Amino acid sequence: MAEVDVTVVTVRDIFQDEAGRKSRFSEEYKNLSALIILDKQDMIRLGVKDGQKLLVQNDVGMVIVAAKTSEDEPHPGLAFMYNSPWSNQLVSDDVGEGSIPGNKRIKATLSIAEGNTTPISELQARMQS
Return d(Cα 90, Cα 57) in angstroms, integer: 7
Q: What mean pLDDT do residues 51-78 have?
A: 96
Q: Tens digits of per-residue pLDDT, 67-78?
A: 999 999 999 999
Per-domain residue ranges of the chain = 3-128
Inform me whether the pLDDT recorded for 95 exceeds 70: no
Q: What mean pLDDT do residues 15-21 have?
A: 87
The pTM of the whole model exceeds 0.75: yes
- Between CA 11 and CA 16, with CA 15 as vertex, the angle to 5 degrees is 55
**Domain 3-128 coded CATH 3.90.650.10:** no
pLDDT classification of 99: cutoffs 50, 70, 90: low
pLDDT for res 128: 81
